[in-house]
Amino acid sequence: MELAISAVTGELVSRFFSLLANKYRSGRTHSEDKQLERLQQLLLRARTVVEEADGRYITNSGMLVQLNMLAEAMYRGYWALGVFGYRSLEESTPLEEEEVSNSSPLKRFRMIHGRARKNLVDLRGASESLENVIASMTEFVVLLGGCDHMPRRPYDTYLCNDNIMFGRHVEKQRLLNFMLQHSSPNGAPAVLPIIGSTSAGKKTLVAHVCRDERASSHFSSILHLDGHFFCRIADLGNLLSGKVLVVVEIVSDVDEEARAKFCSTLASMDRGSKMIIVSHCKNSVKLGIAKPIFINMLSYEEFSYLFKTLAFGSVDPAEHPRLARIADELARELHSDWSLIAANLLADLMRRNLNLSFWLCVLRRLKRFVERNLSMYGEHPKFLIQRRHQVDVTDFILHPASPLRIVPSGAISSSRTEVTEEKELLPTVRIVDLVLDPGVRPQGDFNVVTWESRVPPYTSSVHFVPSGAADVGQDTPLPGRKRPAFHL
């Protein structure tokens, strides 16, 4: 009898808490709907202003600060909107139902109540933050109306397809202002250092701004030089005559002798000429005259927005909340330890198969790939690649037939060795194709393309894959794709 009474009592308590939870859930729907609608309206207003600002020439430094604040608040809002989409789904996933059914009725109610409060706080916090920024933008919008329009380029608009320069709204404006307005006090060519970590998008930023009609028509020619020409820049002779813009990529610290030659070359250049130094070395700041532009890592919210845009393509992430949740987790993994190249690589892979199992498999493989290299070499693969140390990518290939290790290429050099030339003739395969179908792996040694840029300067990352699994000496000449040392 006592067992029967206990069972009946337990069932009644369980039903009571279920009824209470359902009542609470229906009661909070109206509040969430209002916050959701408010956030969507604010995001639309913010995006409209950011897109309009991206299409105008802004020379006011205060306006650039405001633009940066608005863009940051906008990406935080989009992130909160996405998180709300899959958090609300978590309550009905089979795994959650199984976990909740095995817990006490009180715990079940607390879990639902806790999630509801978290969702509502996220939406309210993002809305309030964005609303405060927009409220201070009245003067910005008025002043924006007086800024000149940039020429319209149908295939270079804000996030309409893959062939765009994402974000960097303020950096683009500052670089353009330098090209068009900045001048040195003594009349010598002005020099602007652009400093950022490897693969942060420095050259892409410069190439994007150089495509602007007002910038390109401002100079008689634009020269792009790699670091090997820096010490011999004075030998370019007539190429430096006229009103020239010189873009130099520096991959190592500059010694005093090279710096002296650099200053001498600047003095000989025609008035109105300018130079942009692109480097990951902070010491390159000393070569500049203008205030340097630092290309910092995107914020997590902005990075997540970019990654999901690339991974989903033309598909709305809101239609696939479970995939959006995985994309956020991958974005967090990539943002903390990887580069934009890795983000583009994974997004390209995932966009080809919008399948939950496939995306989960990619996430697991990425984590195992990192763990294997930490175990084998004691370092994260990102740092191994930077040091040009071989990396074991066996776990990244979804169905590995045999161990697979790549030897990262270094900086592209104008001087070639016979071994390097031989490696350039080897079969080449894209790593995405190798992941999707390991059967395309060539026999013997081959080259693998891990990334190809869709925007200027259309750089690519090509690495060597030896046929054997044995370690490859670090002094082995590495392959690279030929490209002109400079072009007009």
Question: Is residue 162 included in any domain, yes or no?
Answer: no
Highest mean pLDDT among 68-72, 203-207, 214-218, 240-244: 68-72
Based on the fold, state whether residues 226 and 334 are members of the same structural domain.
Answer: no
pLDDT for position 77: 92
Residues in the chain: 488
- Give the percent of the chain with pLDDT over 90: 17
pTM of structure: 0.72
Pick the range with the lowest mean pLDDT from 3-17, 234-248, 392-406.
3-17
Per-residue tokens: 137: 């933008």
pLDDT per residue over 59-75, tens digit each?
899 999 999 999 999 99
Q: Distances from the Cα of 304 to the Cαs of 36, 42, 203, 321, in angstroms?
A: 20, 19, 22, 14
- Give the percent of the chain with pLDDT over 70: 71
Is pLDDT above 70 for 107?
A: no
Based on the fold, state whether residues 246 and 307 are members of the same structural domain.
Answer: no
Q: Distances from the Cα of 162 to the Cαs of 256, 301, 313, 344, 439, in angstroms?
A: 42, 19, 8, 10, 28
Based on the fold, state whether residues 29 and 99 are members of the same structural domain.
Answer: yes
Q: Are 156 and 164 in contact (CB under 8 A)?
A: yes
pLDDT for position 155: 41
Task: Give 409's DSSP letter.
Answer: -
**Distance in angstroms (rounded) separating the CA atoms of residues 442 and 429:** 8
pLDDT for position 341: 80
Per-residue tokens: 14: 């369980």
pLDDT for position 224: 82
Based on the fold, state whether residues 100 and 7 are members of the same structural domain.
Answer: yes
Pick the range with the lowest mean pLDDT from 27-36, 45-54, 169-178.
27-36
Question: Is residue 178 included in any domain, yes or no?
Answer: yes
Question: Is residue 93 included in any domain, yes or no?
Answer: yes
The domain boundary residue, chosen from 144, 179, 196: 144
pLDDT for position 323: 92
The domain boundary residue, chosen from 259, 275, 295: 295
Q: Are 346 and 334 in contact (CB under 8 A)?
A: yes
Mean local confidence (pLDDT), 227-235: 59
pLDDT for position 168: 85
Based on the fold, state whether residues 260 and 128 are members of the same structural domain.
Answer: no
Based on the fold, state whether residues 291 and 304 are members of the same structural domain.
Answer: no
Q: What is the mean pLDDT of the chain?
A: 75
Residue with the bigger pLDDT between 399 and 151: it is 151
Task: Give 185's DSSP letter.
Answer: T
pLDDT for position 159: 38
Based on the fold, state whether residues 245 and 180 are members of the same structural domain.
Answer: yes
Instruction: Characterize 60-89 residue by residue with b for buried, 16 or more Cβ atoms within 10 angstroms of its Cβ, and e for exposed.
Output: beebbebbebbbbbbbbbbbbbbbbbbbee
Based on the fold, state whether residues 244 and 346 are members of the same structural domain.
Answer: no
Question: Is residue 153 included in any domain, yes or no?
Answer: no
Residue with the bigger pLDDT between 216 and 226: it is 216
Mean local confidence (pLDDT), 318-344: 86
Is pLDDT above 90 for 46?
A: yes
- Choose among 143, 152, 227, 139: nearest CA to 410: 227
pLDDT per residue over 284-302, tens digit each?
888 888 889 998 888 889 8
Domain count, the chain: 3
Task: Compute the C-alpha angle 90/96/101, nearest 5°.
Answer: 140
- Beta bridge pairs of residue 392: 405
Any idea which residue has 């040392």 for tokens? 485
Residue with the bigger pLDDT between 228 and 344: it is 344
Is pLDDT above 80 for 468?
A: no
Mean local confidence (pLDDT), 160-182: 76
Q: Are 74 and 50 in contact (CB under 8 A)?
A: yes
Question: Is residue 95 included in any domain, yes or no?
Answer: yes
CA-CA-CA-CA dihedral for 134, 139, 142, 148, to nearest 10: -100
pLDDT for position 174: 92
Peptide bond into 457 cis (omega under 30): yes
Pick the range with the lowest mean pLDDT from 52-66, 144-158, 312-326, 446-460.
144-158
Is pLDDT above 70 for 471?
A: no
Is pLDDT above 70 for 144?
A: yes
Is pLDDT above 70 for 309?
A: yes
pLDDT for position 420: 58
Based on the fold, state whether residues 11 and 140 are members of the same structural domain.
Answer: yes
Question: Is residue 308 included in any domain, yes or no?
Answer: yes
pLDDT for position 198: 76
| Alpha helix (H) residue ranges in 269-417 | 300-312, 321-337, 340-351, 356-377, 381-386
Question: Is residue 199 included in any domain, yes or no?
Answer: yes
Q: Are 16 and 105 in contact (CB under 8 A)?
A: yes
Residue with the bigger pLDDT between 254 and 16: it is 254
Based on the fold, state whether residues 317 and 446 are members of the same structural domain.
Answer: yes
| pLDDT band, residue 106 (cuts 50/70/90) | very low
| pLDDT band, residue 480 (cuts 50/70/90) | very low
Mean local confidence (pLDDT), 345-371: 90
What's 264's domain CATH number? 3.40.50.300
Question: Is residue 174 included in any domain, yes or no?
Answer: yes
Based on the fold, state whether residues 121 and 42 are members of the same structural domain.
Answer: yes
Mean local confidence (pLDDT), 67-90: 84
- Choose among 290, 265, 294: nearest CA to 280: 294
Mean local confidence (pLDDT), 303-321: 89
Residue with the bigger pLDDT between 56 and 237: it is 56
pLDDT for position 245: 87
| pLDDT band, residue 154 (cuts 50/70/90) | very low
Mean local confidence (pLDDT), 15-35: 56
Instruction: Print the domain residue range for 242.
Output: 169-295
